[in-house]
Each structure stands twice: as structure tokens, then as C-alpha cells.
Amino acid sequence: MVTTKSKKETKKKTTTKRTVKVKKAETVKKTIGKKPVAKKIASKTKVTKASAKTKRVATKKAVTTSSPKGKRTASKAKAVKAIMAVTEQPRAVIPVEKKQSTIQAVMETKAAKSEPKRDISFNPQEMEPRWQKKWEMDKLYRAVIDYSKPKFYALTMLPYPSGDLHMGHWFPMTPSDARARFMRMNGYNVLFPMGFDAFGLPAENAAIKSGIHPMKRTRDNIVRMRAQLRSMGAMFDWEREAVSCEPEYYKWTEWFFIQLYKHGLAYRKMSPVDFCPNCNTTLAREQVWGEDRHCERCDTPVIKKDLEQWFFKTTKYADELLNFDGIDWPQTVKTLQTNWIDRSEGASVIFKTETGNHDVEIFTTRPDTLWGATFMVFSPEHPLVDEITTPENKAAIEEYKVQAARQSDIQRGAVDKEKTGVFTGGYAINPVNQARIPIWIADYVLMSYGTGAIMAVPAHDERDFAFAKKYDLPIIEVIRPESEVRATSESSLQAAYIGAGVMVNSDQFNGTKVNTEKGRKNPGVSAVIDWLQEKGIGKESVNYRYRDWLISRQRYWGSPIPMVRCDIHGWNPVPEDQLPVTLPEDVEWKPTGESPLKLHPTWKNTTCPMCGGPATRETDTMDTFMCSSWYHLRYLSPHYDRGPFDPAEYDYWMPVDTYTGGIEHATMHLLYTRFFHKALRDAGIVKGDEPMLQLRNQGMVLGEDGEKMSKSRGNVIAPDILVDKYGADTVRTYMMFFARWEMGAPWDSQGIEGPARWIRRVWNLFTDPTQPASDSAFDGRQLRRRVHQTLRKVTHDFENFEFNTIISSLMELMNEMYKAREAGAAGSPEWKEAQDIYLHMLAPVAPHIAEELWTNHLGKTYSIHQQPWPKFDEAAAKEDSIELPVQINGKVRDRITVPAEAREEEIKAAALASETVRKYLEGKVPKKVIVAKGRLVSIVV
């Protein structure tokens, strides 16, 4: 599921930041292997910035590098300095500035000399696999039901086994892992599982190309990716791993299909697919290329073909899916799903055709404009088109239908496209006034929305207006702005009028007020609906943009649909005790991509579960979103064979407490999985109304060029190399630090140096040989204060998914600790507490180094990952005195230091007593003095 599918290539060159970033990336690339050139570029850029300061620097630089004479002079000067340093060395050993004894200074020098050694002893390449192995041996992250503890199900989207893990996987997963670890230290029994969403088109395409069976390829990829996932040092419980392409998994995907079928939620209907007539294959959207929409394999123009396929009635849950009560999901996702479902209220009205006397149902949100309907427009695919078309219009209609079918919905909906259509020759009767109106077809009416036919009201709909103007069709005004009641209607005919007013030309409804509200809130709409229902012409109705879920795929590499068809008994599910219907292994791959299930000689032959007579299997497989709609349930008991999940595990762990993943799944996976849960609830299989209580989305890691990472662009950053070079702890830290998590950012390969330095400096801070404090300037109260302030901040940020500031706070505290140690903190109780709390806060972020320092260097009880989160001490975090800025007329002019508990009058007095303030006041009496407690003092003159 976590993939880098790109639907559109980004073509537009941006003029702002992105472009700047691209330029920077180019410079960086040039740096590799050719440092001097890069440096020159850098200085050149600075010169163009026209800053006097940098110009000077650049000029200086140019002198030293370009003139050999200058260079010699410079190095000569350096040599002289070096000699001086050598001669001065004996004296330099004796500390001059620091108030420390000579003995201490000597020890310090020794410590300084041993520094490189300490750096060498920090060896993540040795340490990380060692701890990973031990944690696994000790089953440290095994999540077992334990009713004595509150449970926490932390779920992150599972990867598609494409072959290699990349930054797009690390970015959502490692911060999620850190948070799962944080929850664990806070006393929760945490389940953090991992698996593979293993069915799908790429493996099948690879099989067609190479002949390697998708199962082999997928399993090989999983083996490799599992090892890569382990290198993260995450707390995945591998005993709960689930792989969707294994029969023990898809047996239950099939079983779920049958349950939905039994509850009336699965049905068959005709639906068009993109089809290559040459390859005899259905094509996915990504296999249709170019403006002319040709097949990716053979360049043949793609056609639309109607196939009978399986659907789930997702629309049955449309209203319930619009309700987000009780779940903590980002507003963005809720809005996206709401707009995707797009509920609209109105009426459905029956028009009759003149020929054949057929009922044609249309949906309208504006039944109040029915008297203005001067023509009808059918979608070219509408089933009645052939019948109503008169012989003289046949040829034109057929040609238009072919042309419309060649286009994608996106092309049909292009903004600047001129409206086109063809008259069928047929007529319909407007039921409200018996007017005889022509029926046209046009590609702007889509079969997939509403009923595939509309009444056209050109006076009050922009599209209908444009169409009527182009083909010279009548326009009748039926809503008139109230201010123009006495005016002629001429002006309103220049464009469609969409607004409030009163109904005109509408028989008994003339004079009825109409506002811009929707549905029943609009008096005109409401009155007409009541009348339509009374007359039996139409009824109040709700329409959704949301469609039923088409789950049939004409592919091999997916979960089989467990249905068989017999000539006598039609479609019936495979008996549950015969599940799973397994995919045959002996299949032949045609270069055309035709599904091998169709071509298999025996697989599809079976017997009818009703009569035992000959029957055939469904050869289509299921959409892979079906597999990912319930994987969170399979994790509970991946090898359980008496049901899709062990009810005992379900009762303890479900629902999912936190779900993390990409926002690109907002209207697909995240909506499917909610539907699926509700359908299963109604089938009595699961409990509760929602599967995931809290959702958080991360942004995207782009390539260094600011574009989406993809193999074809060659901008993929592989984590393996980084783990080899820096260690997993550093890469994890960088994932949390380098961008706002919910935003994402382009990759910056230089930026990782920051976290790398931090991790090394933490190592040195803890492993440095330390001496007890003597003659110390160390302020223990101050250190405690900083430690507990950081603890408060880090705790808050973990709770709120603000990962980048967790790392900055830890960096700041480390800097404080270095200063404290310099001042002689080592050995004090405050120092020991600082070390303790620091490692606890570090543990979720960088689990390996935290464990090594805790267990091996401080000699504490293994494992730090089983320790409780430290207790925050409010009193310790409190400041004694605070520094307040003093503003005069909005400008900061001075700073005063007051006790933290100082009262307002005291602060005011202190501010006015300040010399600087008095200078600025020049004897004037301030108009107003505002004291924002703990923030600042503002004086208005």
C-alpha cells in the first residue's frame, strides 16, 4: 500500500522555493568528486547576491586561490603560526583562564587526547544488529494479551513488496515506531505489527516480461524487505506478520466476499473497462498511454468494453460514512471523504419518451426550474439512445458514440472543451407542462453520475445555457431576481441566472420565492417536491457522487473471487469448507497480458454447489484494496484457521488506537476500510462503528530534486546505504527531524550530518571518563530545571506527533549537559538524574544507542525499553526569576529580571524604574502600561 505510484507527471516548473531547491541540488551533485568547482560556484552565487560583505570575502578567496603567489604567502603565514604554536606548547598546557587545578587540567588534556578513541568505540554497525538480535531472542516486542494493562493498537500502513525499502517507507514508519515505543513506556501494552500487501499488478507485469512466477518474485522480495525492515530497529511483532498473497490469508479475503454476498452487498452488473482489442486484455489506467489513449504494449487505440463485473454496495453506507462522530481523524481527510461522497438533495422526476412511451428518470437538485426544461440530454451510453434515435439521425449518433467512448472521463471533462452533442430525433414530454422537448446526447452527461440523463434548463444552468446557445435551442426564464420583477427578461438571457428570486412562467408556482439554499431549505424546491409527490410525477430524492465499489479485476495476481456459475442455478458461492479457492501454479504467461486464469485448461472447471452438475469458476480476481481493508484484523492472529481472526485477540486489541499513513489514501483505502468495517458489523462479525479511532497522516518525502521519488526519475534514496554509513538510530532521528511530519519535504542528503553529530555527541557525553565535581561552578537546580522542562516538552510533542521538536529539545538538553559537565556536574545526584531521564527520552527515538548506554555503560537493568516513562516534576521545572522584555511603543528597548512570582505592580514598578526606560520616556508620563504575565511589559507613551 505504501507505494510511490504517480498518476501524473509534474510538468509545471515552479517559480518559488521549489526551483531554488532544485538549483541547490544541482550544486550539491557537482560537489561529489569535484569539491573546488563546487566551492567556486558557491562563491560566485554569493557575488551575484550583491552583498558588500560577501563580495569582500569572495574577492579575498579569489586572490588566495587564483594567484599562486598569494597562495604561497598564505601558506607561509600559516607555517610561521604553526611554529609559534609548537614553541608555545609547554606554556599552553597550563590553564590560564579556567579556575581549575593543574592536576585537573592535565586530566582534561588526557581526556582530550583520548577523544578519537571514544569516537571509534561508537560503532553502530556492530552495536545495532547485536541489540536487534538480543531483543528478538528475548521476545522483547512480542505483544501478548494482558488484561492487567491498557492495550494500545498502533498501526502503520503496510508496504507493497516492490523489492526494496526506500525513504518513503522509513518516513511514515520510524516516527510511528517511536511513538508506539513512547506509549509502551507509558504503561500501555502496545501492538505494533507489520506485513505485506502482496497482490497487485507490478508482480504480474514482471511475470509477463520475465516469466518468473509472481509468487516466487513476491516471496523473494518479501525476504529482502523483511531484512531491511529489521534494520530499522522497530518494535514490530514479527510473530504477527501477515502476507496477503498467502493462501492462509486470502482464504479469509474470499470468506469475507462470501459474507458480503450473503448479506446482499455483492452484486453483478455491466460496467465498461478500458480494453485493448489486439491484446484481448483489460487495461489499468496506468497501462493506457498518451493523449490518443493507446495500449502500453502494442500501441493499439484503447476501446471501452462492457463487462459484467462484481460490485459492493458501498453506496448503502453513504450516509453513515459521512458521519465521523467518535473518531479523531484529520479534518482534511474528513472533508476529502465528505466531498468524495458528495451528497446532494433534490428530486427524481419521470419524463416520458414520445416514441415507445418509456419512462426516463432524471435527478435534479432544482425541481423548481422544471418549467424551464426545454430539452433533455442523455449520456451517449444511455440504454434508450438506440431506441429513440430516428433513422435519419442514426449515422451521426453512432459516430458520436464511438468518439465519446474513445475518451477518458478526464478528457470528457476538460475545462476548456467546447460542448458538443447530437440530436437523436426523439422527443420527450415534460411532465409538469406537457411540453414536447427534443432529446440530445452529449458527452458532458456521464452515465456514472445520477441516472445518465438530465433535463436541461438553459436559463439557469451554465452548461445547459452554453449548449442551448450553440445548437439554438429555446431558453425559458423561470427564476427572476426579485429586484427585476417588473423588468423584461431580456437581460437575464445573456447568461444563465443562478441565484435567489421568484418563480415565473411556472403556472401555479408563479411568485414562489426561491433562495440559494439546498434541498428542503429552499422554499421553491420544497413546494415543488411536495406537488410532484402529490401528482405522482416525481419524489424527493438524494443523489451521491459516490459509486459502488467495482472489485472485479481481469488479472491473475489477486485473491480469487470464490463464486461458481452453473447454467441451471446461476452464480453461487463456493461452500465455505472448500475455501480457499487457490490460484493455480501451472500457468502460462502470454506477452499480451491476458489473464492466465482464463487460459488455464482445467482450473475453472468445477461442480455446482447446488446440483453437483458442471459449473465454471469466476476467473476474475479481487481488487487489492479488498485485501488491505481488513489486514488490521489478520495481524491479530495471522495463522488462525477457524476464522479470519481469533475472537479473543479481537476483543482485547480492537479497535486500532492510532493509524498512520499517507494522505493519498484518503478517498480510497481509508474509505473502503471504513465501509468494510460497517458491512462486517452488520454481518455480525465485528463490533463498533469504526475500525480506527485516531488517524494521522504524514507528508511525502520528495527526491532531492523536489520531485516525487521514483525509480524512473532516478531520485530514489535507499536507506540501506545510509544505515551502513550512519546507523539506524541516526536515520530514524533524521526521519523525525528533517521536516514537519505531516508536511514532508524534499530529501536533503547533507542534513543528516546534524543528527549524526548529535548521536555521536550523546555517545561521547555518556562514555567520557568523568570526574566528581570539586570547586564547582555547577548549578544543580538549573540542570534539574532544564531536564524537567525538556521532559515536559518531549512528552507533549510525542502525544501530538510533533516529532521534529522532540529532537531539537533533546539536542538543546544535550548542549546544556555538556555545559554542566564542564562546570563539574559529574557525580552529582542531579547529573545522575539527568543521565537517566535523558536515556529514557532517547529510547523511543534511538533505541539501540539508548540501550547500549543504559545497559552497558550505566550498568542499569536491561532493558531500557521496559522502563516506565520518567515522572515530570513540576516544582523542578519552575523558574526562579524571569527576564522580561520592556517595549516602548511596540519596540523592545530594555530587559528586566524579576522573580517568577512577582506581582503585576512589582513588575510595572521595576520596568518604570529602569534607567533605559526612563531615558526613552524623556520625562513623559506613560499613557498605559500593560503587563503580560511571564511575557513582557508594554509601555505606551
Partner RNA sequence: GCCGAAGUGGCGGAAUAGGCAGACGCGCACGACUCAAAAUCGUGUUCCCUACGGGAAUGAGGGUUCGAUUCCCUCCUUCGGCACCA
| Gap between the Cα atoms of 864 and 84, Å rounded | 50
Out of 354, 398, 720, 812, point to the residue binding RNA (CB under 7 A).
812
| Contact by Cβ (8 Å): 193, 256 | no
Out of 235, 739, 820, 846, point to the residue binding RNA (CB under 7 A).
739
The contacts of residue 843 (CB under 8 Å, 6+ apart) are 181, 185, 850, 851, 854, 864, 865, 867
SS3 191: strand
Q: Which is nearer to RNA, 80 or 721 (CB)?
A: 80
Q: Which is nearer to RNA, 109 or 578 (CB)?
A: 109
| Gap between the Cα atoms of 268 and 615, Å rounded | 18
The amino acid that residue 629 corresponds to is: S
Q: Which is nearer to RNA, 332 or 866 (CB)?
A: 332
Question: In the window 64-123, what residues touch RNA (CB under 7 A)?
Answer: 78, 81-82, 85, 115, 119
Out of 10, 323, 607, 897, point to the residue binding RNA (CB under 7 A).
10
Least Å distance between CB 448 and RNA?
7
Q: Which is nearer to RNA, 260 or 457 (CB)?
A: 457
If one asks whether residue 39 binds RNA (CB under 7 A), the answer comes out as yes
Question: In the window 508-547, what residues touch RNA (CB under 7 A)?
Answer: 543, 545
Q: Which is nearer to RNA, 716 or 882 (CB)?
A: 882
| Contact by Cβ (8 Å): 558, 623 | yes
The single-letter DSSP state of residue 741 is T
Question: In the window 816-835, what residues touch RNA (CB under 7 A)?
Answer: 818
Choose the stretch contacting RNA; rule: CB under 7 A; options: 453-461, 483-491, 494-502, 632-640: 453-461
The single-letter DSSP state of residue 853 is I
Least Å distance between CB 526 and RNA?
15
SS3 438: strand
Question: In the window 358-417, what residues touch RNA (CB under 7 A)?
Answer: 362-366, 379, 409-410, 412-415, 417
Least Å distance between CB 356 and RNA?
22
Least Å distance between CB 5 and RNA?
9
For residues 201 to 220, the per-residue mask of contacts with RNA, x marking binding by CB under 7 A and - elsewhere, is --------------------
SS3 826: coil
| Contact by Cβ (8 Å): 841, 867 | no
Out of 22, 429, 446, 693, point to the residue binding RNA (CB under 7 A).
446
Task: Go through 537-564 and write b for each residue having 16 or more CB atoms within 10 A of its CB, e for each that does not.
Answer: bbebbebbebebbebbbbbbbbbbbbbb
Out of 198, 692, 811, 896, point to the residue binding RNA (CB under 7 A).
811
Q: Which is nearer to RNA, 208 or 888 (CB)?
A: 888
| Gap between the Cα atoms of 794 and 802, Å rounded | 9
Choose the stretch contacting RNA; rule: CB under 7 A; options: 99-107, 748-756, 833-841, 847-855: 748-756
Among 376, 377, 374, 365, which Cα is nearest to 476's?
Answer: 374
If one asks whether residue 9 binds RNA (CB under 7 A), the answer comes out as no
Least Å distance between CB 371 and RNA?
14
Least Å distance between CB 518 and RNA?
8
Q: Which is nearer to RNA, 25 or 207 (CB)?
A: 25
Q: Could you please report the per-residue DSSP string of 237-279?
A: -GGG-EETTSHHHHHHHHHHHHHHHHTT-EEEEEEEEEEETTT
Among 830, 653, 860, which Cα is nearest to 145's?
Answer: 653
If one asks whether residue 748 binds RNA (CB under 7 A), the answer comes out as yes
SS3 414: coil
Least Å distance between CB 573 and RNA?
32
Question: In the window 859-888, what residues touch RNA (CB under 7 A)?
Answer: 883, 885, 887
Least Å distance between CB 287 and RNA?
17
Long-range Cβ contact pairs of 8-11 (< 8 A, separation 24 or more): 10/707, 10/708
Question: In the window 265-294, what residues touch RNA (CB under 7 A)?
Answer: none
Long-range Cβ contact pairs of 415-424 (< 8 A, separation 24 or more): 418/470, 419/444, 419/463, 419/466, 419/467, 419/470, 421/377, 421/467, 421/471, 422/393, 422/396, 422/397, 423/393, 423/471, 424/378, 424/385, 424/388, 424/389, 424/390, 424/393, 424/397
If one asks whether residue 938 binds RNA (CB under 7 A), the answer comes out as yes
| Contact by Cβ (8 Å): 276, 269 | no
Out of 433, 616, 815, 855, point to the residue binding RNA (CB under 7 A).
815
Least Å distance between CB 85 and RNA?
3
If one asks whether residue 761 binds RNA (CB under 7 A), the answer comes out as yes
Question: In the window 616-675, what residues touch RNA (CB under 7 A)?
Answer: 663-664, 667
If one asks whether residue 18 binds RNA (CB under 7 A), the answer comes out as yes
Specify the residue for cell string 564542564.
822
